[in-house]
Structures are given as C-alpha cells and as structure tokens.
Structure 1
Amino acid sequence: MALNLDDLGIRPAGLDAVRPFAVEGLDVRGRAVALGPVLESILDRHDYPEPVSRLLAEAIVLTSLLGTSLKFEGRFTLQTQTEGPVSMLVVDFASPDAIRACATFDADRVAALMKAGKASQEALLGNGHLAMTIDQGKHMQRYQGLVELDGISLEEVARRYFERSEQIPTEVRLSVGELFSRPEGAALTRSWTAGGILVQFLPEAPDRMRQADIDPGDAPEGTMSHEIEEDDAWVEAKLLVETVKDVELTDPEVSVEMLLFRLFHERGVRLYEPQPLADKCRCSREKIEEVLSNFSTQEMDDMTVDGRIVVTCEFCNTHYEFDNKRGH
C-alpha cells in the first residue's frame, strides 16, 4: 500500500526546503532536502558544462543542509580551491533562506575530460582544499574549518569535516539528477533536480560519541592503532542511510517525508518545521559603489571602457554600469 502523508497528518515541505528531523530511538538528528526551481534558476543563468553544473549542484545541496543549521543571523560559505579543472566552487548561504553559487573552471580541461569520458567529480576537483566558513556578523569572530581534497567526493568531505573538526559521527548522501520532458509539439527540455540527507549521532552521554583517534601517520612501525567500537545505534543509523538510492533523492515524486518515513518508521522519526530556500544574491549597486570608492584613480582608469566601468556579479550575472571615478 502506498504511503499517504495526509493519513499521518504530515504536510510535505515540497521542493526547495530543508526538513530537520530526529530519530530519538537511535539518538540521531539530521536534515533532508529536495531542490528543484532554486537549483534550476542558479544553474540556468550560468550555462556551465554539464559536469560542472552537476558538481556545483552537489555543493549547493551540501551547503543547504549545513547552512540551515545556523541558529543565528549569519552566513555559511563553502568554498573549494584546487588545481583541478574546476579550480573554485563557492556556495554562500545567508540566514534565514538565501543561497547563491558560482564556479570557476578551465573550459578546455573540462572539455578534454568530457571527451575522454573521465569527468568524474574527483577528476574535476583535483587536489586542494575545501573551506567551510561561519560568519556570525561584524562583532563576532569567524570560524573556518578546512578539509584536504585529495581525490575524495563531497560526501566524504562532509564526513571528514565533522569527524576531525567537530568530533561528531556523520553520514551524508548527496545526489543530482536531470529531468527531461517533451510537451506536445515542443522541443525536449531539461531541468535539474537534487537532494540530500545528513544524519549525525548525538547521544546525551559523551562516551557514546567517542571515535577512534586519527592516525597521525608517524607512529613507529608495528604500533597498534587505537580502535573504538562503534555504538550499535549509530551502526544501525548509518546502514539505513546507506540504503538510500540516488533516484530517491532526485525524484520529485518522492518527498523527503516519504523517504524519512521509509528509513526510520520502525524507530520513530520526529519531523520539525521545514526551512525554505530561495535563490537570492546579496549584490547591490550601493555595495559595488562602496568597493569602487576604495580603488585608486589609476585602477579606475584601467577598468574604464568608453568612459564607463561595468561590473558583473559572478553569482547572479547582474551587470552594473558606473561613470569613471565617482561610481555614479
């Protein structure tokens, strides 16, 4: 029998909303998201090659899951900097709901990988690092965590980050898909869809969260590594999340509530109010004028073409034009 959320008194969050949840029987908390129009809007304005769009989309999913966990007015930024064909990804979330993203890449190198059929996420990123930055405002100190990128996926990045920086056992699944449709008498159209789920083990007793020490890499030969047996509840939660199929995260017909019920109904899953997401850029004419006011006369002259300075926002592609030197 098909699951009917109405019978359970559950109103689906729908697309472009993060649904926080808790499974008290397993001492885990998490967040799940399904992205549609917001993702399509961001990717459509940039017209990146397909593998670059897919990679950026996965970064947007991860940022959505992490950024909406902020309990204050602030910003969460995910940024990669690598030597790979996609040298930089930037996804910026500003509470409570604004998300924007862009990518920097070498078109020739990406095209070469695509032609060879080797445009995997790991190959596109290459070696470098990923930074996760939390900005709590002007009067608060910023916090930044770094994760080395050495041929690992963004899913593995999230696991490493929480294991090493936060000491929180974490499991994450991310997926990106494409929907194709052909309205009668019209051309074939494509749209992007994506989803993700992040689960963390957060028992009340700190001892239950203990993890094995990270291998320092310089221990004497023959030294036994320090092993800590994982908690049974966390093992069960991880195994359940590992059963999630890509199509379950990208199919608009499978709501996050249906997915969470399928995974955790035997243990009891508690759903919290969804947190909507919106495609919003923070650029403005006033902010750019302020930036231009800090440039020297020579720098302003170097940027001037036919008496005008044109500035394009890398996130939203909005063009701003200014007269030379005074930004009016």
Structure 2
Amino acid sequence: MSKQSDTTAATITPISHMDRVLPFQVDGLDVRGRMVHLNNTVTGIIQRHDYPDAVNRLLAEAIALTSLLGSSLKFEGKFILQVQSKGAVNMLAVDFTAPDAVRAYVRFDDEALAALIEKGETLPEQLLGEGTLIMTIDQGQYMNRYQGIVILDGKSLEEAAHSYFMQSEQLPTRVRLAATEMVTKQKDGSFKSEWLAGGLLVQYLPHSSTDIPHRDLHPGDHPDLDSETGGEVDEVDVWRECEALINTVNDHELTDPAVTAETLLYRLFHENNPRVFDEMPIEDRCTCSREKIGEVLNNFKPEDRDDMMVDGKIEVTCEFCSTSYNFVPEEIEGEIQGRDQD
C-alpha cells in the first residue's frame, strides 16, 4: 500500500522535485489524478536529438502526457504514444516502459516546418495538422495489446487526450500540459539550456474510495446528466467545480521549478481534502541493445543484409537514443558479441 499524506505549502529547492509523477486523490470532489514534472528527462532527450525549439516543445509535452498515462500501468509492459500526421511533424513516438523509463523521437519535414516557423504558426497542434494519435498498451509477448485511436484535426495533445478518455473509458477527464525552455547564465559567462515539462491529469470517479490510486483505469460510472435525482446532479456539479479549478492553472505553474506538485495541489484543492501518494520517478532510458538489434538483423535474408553493407559492415542507429551499432557479417551470422560505437 502506498502511504498517503496531506498536501501542504512547503519550502522548495528548485529542480529537486522534478522527474517524477505524483498520484493524488481529492476526497471532497471525488477525483483522482496524477501530476508530472520533468527536467533531466526531457532535457536529455531533446539535447540528444537537437531539434528546432518548436519541435522540442511539442516533444516535451508528448513526453509529459505519456508519463502521465504510462505511469498508471500496474504490470511490466509498455505504453506507446504515436502520432502519424500530414503536418510538418509527420511522426512522433514516445515509449513508456513500466515502471519508470521513457524514450522519444520525432520526424519532420524541414521545408514545411520552416514555412510554419516563418508564419509564426508553432503551436503543437499547428505542427501536427491532420492525422491520428495512437495510444497502445502492450502487456507483453503473450498478452493482448489494447489500442485507442484519436483523429487529429487541429486538436492539441490535451484535446486529443480528452477525446481518448471519453471514447475509451467514458470518464470525465481533464488534462493540462505545458513545456518551456529555461536558459541560465553560468559563472564562466556561458549559457545553459534546460527544458521543463509539466502535466496534470484529473479524472472524476463518483463514489470513490481510498484504494482508488491503486486500481487500474476502468469505465466507472459516468453521471447521468438527464437524471432527476438530486444526488447525481450534485455529482455533476462537483465535477464542474473541479474543472473550474483546473482551468485556473497557468502554464508557468506547471513548469516553474519553484512550484512542486504538492504546492500546486494545495493551491487548487486545499478546501477539499487533497491527499498525495508515493511519488514515481521517471528517467530517460532507452531499451535498445546490441543483442536486440542483432536478432532483428538475423531475421533478414542474407541478400537483404548484403544490400545493407557499407564498407564491409552494417551500421544501425537507434532513432530513440541515437546510439549506433556496427556489425560485420560473421557477427550477424553467429553470436552477437562485437563492439558498441556511440
């Protein structure tokens, strides 16, 4: 069982509270949710790929959203968020491997992206345009995969998440995402760039109980808006009150290093008995390996591997972490024990 505590306004050490998801419950409003703050995680991924700033913001928000959703898994598996679109950013992939690892990459059209930047159209939904957002829960080799698809027609990632929950679980859900770059001047006169991403996910669960944070997401009981019974109308009013509170959250509150999840939850819900549970650390960690890539190469026909050869070797670069692996023919045909090249 996770321990729980009341939220309080506390003295903050900047950045020390980042790279974690914090589950919470608000008894007075019958809601539960999670907050995420990321610093080293998104900074590492972004610096490794060196994308334009507009793309970095979109990627940081996607990583925050995936961390919020993936951290709900109660088994060893993956939560995969993918975007395929006709926009300037035509491919986005974020993998969350339970319980704590995330990795991500983006593909985009240079000319289309430059045209949007020149016009000042750099919001995430403008970069994505029309397409599909695919969310997949992979429970492992011998288990079924669950998948939800949301049509992107100018939707932001927040709006797409709302659509996903309403069509897959019929749970009233509110999602907030934000990302920003923080540049600080160092003692030697140089400048250090870091990225910060934050997110908040709140779900309405009428008749909730103290064990809700430990249950997997389920369809629940959606309040009947047409009911004449006073209790259910009261429940709807409770959710509207919660939504009104969430709508007061500013982007900077989700990314300010001096505002912890506990502090923001206290600001929002201090009149409704908010409680927090054990935090869940998040880190930038790829799951690729020389052995896994070697197995993939061994599945190709010899003539296909010959076509991949350049100067007597095959080089494979992981799109997620940019690590390169070199293989010579005898390594591929036998046991993979060669040298990694970063």
TM-score (norm. length: structure 2): 0.86
Q: Does the CA-based 8 Å contact 2:81-2:134 persist in structure 1?
A: yes
Which of the residues 251, 268, 275 maps onto 1:270? 275
- Distance (whole Å) between structure 1 residues aligned to residue 171 and residue 20 of structure 2: 24
Q: Per the alignment, in what secondary structure is the counterpart of residue 295 of structure 1? A: coil
- Distance (whole Å) between structure 2 residues aligned to residue 212 and residue 252 of structure 1: 40
Deviation at 1:106, TM superposition (A): 0.8
Superposed CA offset, 1:254-286 (max 9, x none): 011100011001001010000000111000000
Q: 1:26 to 1:19 in 2, by over 3 A?
A: same
Q: Per the alignment, in what secondary structure is the counterpart of residue 145 of structure 1? A: strand
Deviation at 1:158, TM superposition (A): 0.7
Q: Does the CA-based 8 Å contact 2:225-2:236 persist in structure 1?
A: no
What corresponds to 2:103 in structure 1? 100
Letter of the structure 1 residue corresponding to residue 91 of structure 2: M
Does residue 5 (structure 1) correspond to residue 10 (structure 2)? The answer is yes
Q: Per the alignment, in what secondary structure is the counterpart of residue 73 of structure 1? A: coil
What corresponds to 1:179 in structure 2? 182
Superposed CA offset, 1:146-179 (max 9, x none): 0000001000011111011110100011000111
Letter of the structure 2 residue corresponding to residue 321 of structure 1: N
Q: Does the CA-based 8 Å contact 2:38-2:197 persist in structure 1?
A: yes
Which of the residues 2, 18, 24 maps onto 2:27? 24
- Distance (whole Å) between structure 2 residues aligned to residue 26 and residue 232 of structure 1: 10
Superposed CA offset, 1:275-308 (max 9, x none): 0001110000000010000111221111100001
Q: Per the alignment, in what secondary structure is the counterpart of residue 157 of structure 1? A: helix
Does residue 86 (structure 1) correspond to residue 89 (structure 2)? The answer is yes
Deviation at 1:184, TM superposition (A): 2.8
Deviation at 1:211, TM superposition (A): 6.1
- Distance (whole Å) between structure 2 residues aligned to residue 204 and residue 139 of structure 1: 35
Q: Does the CA-based 8 Å contact 1:81-1:88 persist in structure 2?
A: yes
Percentage of pairs with the same residue: 53
Q: Per the alignment, in what secondary structure is the counterpart of residue 209 of structure 1? A: coil
- 1:304-315 alignment runs, 5 A limit: 304-315=309-320
Letter of the structure 2 residue corresponding to residue 193 of structure 1: L
Q: Does the CA-based 8 Å contact 1:241-1:263 persist in structure 2?
A: yes
Q: 1:292 to 1:130 in 2, by over 3 A?
A: same
- Distance (whole Å) between structure 2 residues aligned to residue 14 and residue 158 of structure 1: 25
- Distance (whole Å) between structure 2 residues aligned to residue 197 and residue 42 of structure 1: 21
Does residue 67 (structure 1) correspond to residue 56 (structure 2)? The answer is no
Superposed CA offset, 1:206-241 (max 9, x none): 99623679xxxxxxxxxxxxxx97701100111111
Does residue 33 (structure 1) correspond to residue 33 (structure 2)? The answer is no
What corresponds to 1:225 in structure 2? none
What corresponds to 2:171 in structure 1? 168
Q: Unmatched 5+ residue regions in structure 1?
A: 7-11, 214-227
What corresponds to 1:289 in structure 2? 294
- 1:1-328 alignment runs, 5 A limit: 4-5=9-10, 14-204=17-207, 209-210=222-223, 231-324=236-329, 326-327=331-332, 328=336
Q: 1:207 to 1:156 in 2, by over 3 A?
A: closer
- Distance (whole Å) between structure 2 residues aligned to residue 165 and residue 315 of structure 1: 28
Deviation at 1:189, TM superposition (A): 2.4
Superposed CA offset, 1:33-89 (max 9, x none): 111011100111000011111101100000010000011111100000011110111
- Distance (whole Å) between structure 1 residues aligned to residue 16 and residue 207 of structure 2: 29
TM-score (norm. length: structure 1): 0.89
Letter of the structure 2 residue corresponding to residue 65 of structure 1: L
Q: Per the alignment, in what secondary structure is the counterpart of residue 292 of structure 2? A: helix
Q: Which segment drifts farther, 120-129 or 98-107?
A: 120-129
Q: Which segment drifts farther, 236-245 or 186-195?
A: 186-195
Q: Does the CA-based 8 Å contact 2:171-2:220 persist in structure 1?
A: no
After superposition, the CA RMSD in angstroms is 2.1
Q: Unmatched 5+ residue regions in structure 2?
A: 1-7, 209-218, 227-231, 337-342
